[in-house]
Amino acid sequence: MGAWWWVVGALVVLVAVGLYLSMTAGRLDRLHRRIDTSLHALDTQLLRRSALALDMAASGVFDPATAVVLADSAHGARAASDNDVVSRGLAESDLTRVLLEAIPDVQEADELREAAPDPTMLDDLRGTCVRVQLSRRFHNDAVRACRQVRKQRLVRWFRLAGHTPWPDTVEMDDTPPPGLTAR
Amino acid sequence: MKIGIVCPYAWDVPGGVSAHIRDQAETLIEMGHDVSVITPVENPDSLPPYAVDGGRPRSVPYNGSVARLTFGVKATARVRRWIREGEFDVLHVHEPLAPSLGVLACWSARGPMVATVHSSIERSRVLVTGYYLAQTALEKISALVAVSEHARRTIVDHLGGDAVLIPNGVRVDHYQDAPPLREWPGPAIGFLGRMDEPRKGLPILLEAFAGIRARVPDAVLVLIGPGDPDEVLAEVPAALRSGIVVLGRLDEADKARALASLSVYVAPNTGGESFGIVLLEAMAAGAPVVASDLDAFARVLDEGRCGALFPVGDSAALEATVVELLGNDEERSRLVAAGARRVAAYDWRTVAGDLIDVYASVTAGQSRVREDLRGQIVGRLARRRTADGGAQ
C-alpha cells in the first residue's frame, strides 16, 4: 500500500516538473523569437540610416569635404552589415560620429534644410536616427530578459535553449545628431 | 498605420489613464492613423466611434483600493475577437500590470506590442505574487514606455527591464484658443483639484488668500474641481467668503476657458503628484503659474523659469509670491510666454510623434499583430478545428 503512494507521489512530481519545463521552453521560444525580430528591426533601421546618409552625401547639400567623409563612413557601415556584431557596431559608430560632426547644431540643420532638394530629407534622417536608438534599446532589453531565463539551473541542465546561440547585445554609439533632435 | 489601443479602466469613469488614451487616440486619428480602442465601459452608448466595448467593469478590491476592472471568459473572448478582426500593425497596451483588459490582450496576441506604464507601484507585494504571470505577459512586449521618471523606476526596480520616457501630453490646441469663461471683478486667482482632498492643498491657499485680499481688495478666488467645498469653507470668515467663487466640476472645454480667465493659477499641492499635468494645462491656457516646489512641479516648471515656486505648505510665502505677481504685469507676461514655449514639448502632437517613432521601430519589417493560440488548451482546440475546416 505504502509503495503505491510513493509511485503516485513520484508521478505527480514528474508531471509537475514536466509542465514547468514545457512552460519554460515555451517562454524561451517566445524570447528567442522576440530577439530575432528586434534584431531584424534594428538591421532595417541601420540600413535605412546609411542609405539616407549616402543620399544626402550625393545630393550636394553638404560641402565636398563633408560629403566625402559622410559617404565613406556610410559605405563602411553598409559593407559591414554582414560582419559580426562587434565590427558592425564599430562601423555604425563611425557613421554616428560623422553625422554628429556634419549636423552639429540647430542652425546648421536649418541651413541644410533650406539647401536640401527635398526638405523632408532631414526629417527622415532625424526619424531614422531616433528609431535606430530605440530599436537598439528594445533589442538589448530582449537580450537581457532572455539571458535571465537561460541562466536558470533547470534551463541549463535540460538544455531547454537547444542549439540557439547565447544572445548578444548590440553595442554601438547611436546618439542622434543634436542639431536634428533639439526642440 | 493601424493601431490597436487597450484601455484597462472604465471609459466613462473620469480618470487620468482613460483621459490619456482618449487624447492619444484622437491625436493619432487627426494625424491620419487608423485607431481602435478597446475599453471597459458602463454605458456602451457613450463610446466614441473609434472605441469598442470590452465589457462591464466590476468593482473589486485590488492593490489597496477598490478598482474597476474587466476580466473573465467573456472579456477574453471580446479581446480575442477584436485582435483577430482588427489586423493591427501594432498593439498598444496601457497599464499591462493591471489585471484587466491589458493583461488579457498581452496573453491573446503576438506580434509588435508596445506597453505604457502609468502608475508607480510602491507595493511590490502584487508584483511578487503575480511575478511569473507578469513576466510571461511582459516578455511578449517589444517596447515599454513610461510616462514619468517615477513609473520608469518601477519598471527598472521591479521588472528588471528599461523603458523609454514619453511624458503625458496636453492637447495644447484645445487650451490656447479657449476664450475666457467670465469677466471677473478683479484679478482672479485659480485653484483646480479635489477640494476635500488635503494633499491638493486648498487650506494653504485659503490661508494665503486672507492676506492677499488685505493687500489686493478686489482679488477673486476661483475654485474648480469636484468634492464638497463646505467643510473647507466653513472655517472661512464671511467677509472673505464673498471673494470666493466655487465653479465645481467642469468639463474639459469649460475647464480650459476657466483657466484662460485667470490672472494667476496656484497649485498648492503638498504631495502625491508624480507629474503635474494641470500645470501644463494652465500654461497652455495662458495662465501664469505659482506652484509648491514639489519635485514633479519644479521639473515641469523648469526649476522656476516657467512659473513661480514657493516652499511646500508655506502660506506666507505663497501670499507674498501671488501679491508680487499680481502687481507686476511684465513678469506675468514673461511667465505666460515662457509657459507657452515650455508646454510645446508636452503637446500631444509632439508626444504622438515620439510614439510613432516607437511604433515604427518595433514594426519595421514585422508582420501584423495576430491572435496567439500557443500554450492554451482552448486555443489549441480552436486551432485544430480551423485546421480541419481548412482541409475539407
Q: pLDDT for B167-225, tens place per residue?
A: 888 999 889 888 998 889 999 999 998 888 888 889 999 999 999 999 999 999 999 98
Asked if the structure places residue A71 within a domain, the reply is: yes
In a shared domain, residues B339 and B354: no
pLDDT higher than threshold 60 for residue B380:
no
For residue range B263-305, what is the model confidence (pLDDT) as tens digits?
999 999 988 776 788 899 999 999 999 999 998 899 889 898 9
Inform me whether the pLDDT recorded for B134 exceeds 90.
Answer: no
Task: Report the number of distinct structural domains present in chain A.
Answer: 1
Higher pLDDT, A119 or B377: A119
The secondary structure of residue A82, as a DSSP letter, is G
The span from the CA of B21 to the CA of B145, in Å, is 14
* Neighboring chain B residues of A37 at a CB cutoff of 8 Å: 112, 142, 366
Could you tell me if residue A48 is inside a domain? yes
pLDDT at A17 over 80: yes
Instruction: Tell me B347's DSSP state.
Output: B
For residues B367 and B338, which has the higher predicted lDDT (pLDDT)?
A: B338
* Count of residues in chain A: 183
Give the pLDDT score at B392.
Answer: 32
Q: Which residues of B touch A45 (CB under 8 A)?
A: 361, 364
Task: Decide if the complex's ipTM is over 0.85.
Answer: no
The pairing of strands B143-146 and B51-53 is unpaired
Task: Report the number of distinct structural domains present in chain B.
Answer: 2
Q: Point out the residue among A38, A127, A183 whose CB comes nearest to the CB of B142.
A: A38
A40 is in which domain, residue-wise? 26-181
Q: Which string of DSSP letters, residue by residue, matches B181-226?
A: S---SS-EEEEES-TT-GGG-HHHHHHHHHHHHHHSTT-EEEEESS
Instruction: Say whether both B128 and B20 belong to one domain.
Output: yes
How far, CA to CA in Å, does B58 sit from each of A40, B6, B67? 41, 17, 8
Residue B127 vs residue A73, higher pLDDT: A73
Taking CB atoms and an 8 Å limit, are A134 and B143 in contact across chains? yes
Domain check: are B317 and B274 in the same one?
yes
In the predicted model, what is the mean pLDDT of residues B41-49? 92
Judge if B293 and B379 occupy the same domain.
no
Give the CA count within 13 Å in the CB-facing half-sphere of A147.
12
Whether A90 is in a domain gets the answer yes
Determine whether the interchain pair B160/A144 forms a contact, defined as Cβ–Cβ distance below 8 Å: yes
Residues B257 and B272 in one domain: yes
Domain boundary among B344, B360, B379: B344
> What pLDDT score was predicted for residue B374?
65
Q: What is the mean pLDDT of residues B48-74?
A: 83
Q: Which residue has the higher pLDDT, B91 or B120?
A: B91
Is the domain of B376 the same as that of B232?
no
Q: What is the pLDDT of residue B130?
A: 64
B240 — pLDDT class (breaks 50, 70, 90): confident
Higher-pLDDT residue of B257 and A107 is B257
Could you tell me if residue A5 is inside a domain? no
d(CA A183, CA A36): 34
> B38: distance to nearest CA of chain A, Å?
25
Q: Is B195 exposed, middle or buried (0-12, 13-18, 19+ CB in 10 A)?
A: buried
**Pairwise CA distance, residues A66 & B294, whole Å:** 47
State the Cα–Cα distance between residues B282 and B259, nearest whole angstrom.
6
In a domain, A9, yes or no: no
pLDDT value for B125: 53
| B202-240 burial code (b ≥16 CB/10 A, e <16) | bbbbbbbbebbbeebeebbbbbbbebebeebbeebeeeb
Q: Which residues pair with B62 in a beta bridge?
A: B65
**CB–CB contact B365 A41 (8 Å):** yes
Among B344, B363, B379, the domain boundary falls at B344
Q: What is the DSSP string of A104-130?
A: -SHHHHHHHHHH-SSTHHHHHHHHHHH
Residue A30 to residue B140, Cβ atoms within 8 A: yes
Residue A63: inside a domain: yes
* Contact criterion met (CB below 8 Å) for B277 and B170: yes
As a whole number, the mean pLDDT across chain B is 86
Q: Which residues, numbered 141 to 180 in chain A, qualify as contacts with chain B under a Cβ-Cβ cut-off of 8 Å?
A: 141-142, 144-145, 148
B360–A131 CB contact, under 8 Å: yes
A145 and B362 within 8 Å at the Cβ level: the answer is: no
For the stretch A159-181, pLDDT in tens is 888 888 899 999 999 999 988 88
Query: Do B177 and B127 have their domain in common?
Result: no
For the ranges B38-42, B229-233, B343-347, which has the lowest average pLDDT?
A: B229-233
For residue B322, give the nearest of B178, B168, B212, B185 by alpha carbon: B212
CATH number at residue B68: 3.40.50.2000
Comparing A149-158, B255-264, B380-389, the range with the smallest average pLDDT is B380-389
Chain B contact present for A41, CB below 8 A: yes
CB-CB neighbors (< 8 A) of A41 in chain B: 361-366
pLDDT in tens, B62-88: 766 677 788 888 888 899 999 999 999
Cβ pair A27:B344 closer than 8 A = no
Distance from CA of B72 to the nearest CA of A (A): 22
List the domain range (segments joined by +) for residue B28: 2-169+348-391
Mutation for testing the A interface, residue in B361, B363, B366 having most A CBs under 10 Å: B361
In a domain, A72, yes or no: yes
The pLDDT of residue B390 is 37
How many CB pairs below 8 A link A and B? 65
Q: Name the grid cell of B77.
A: 473572448
pLDDT at B150 > cutoff 90? no
Tell me the CA distances in angstroms from A51 to A58, A121, A136, one per residue in order: 11, 11, 18
What CATH number corresponds to the domain at position A93?
1.20.1440
Tell me: do B64 and B94 sit in the same domain.
yes
Question: What is the rounded end-to-end Cα distance, in angstroms, of chain B?
Answer: 36
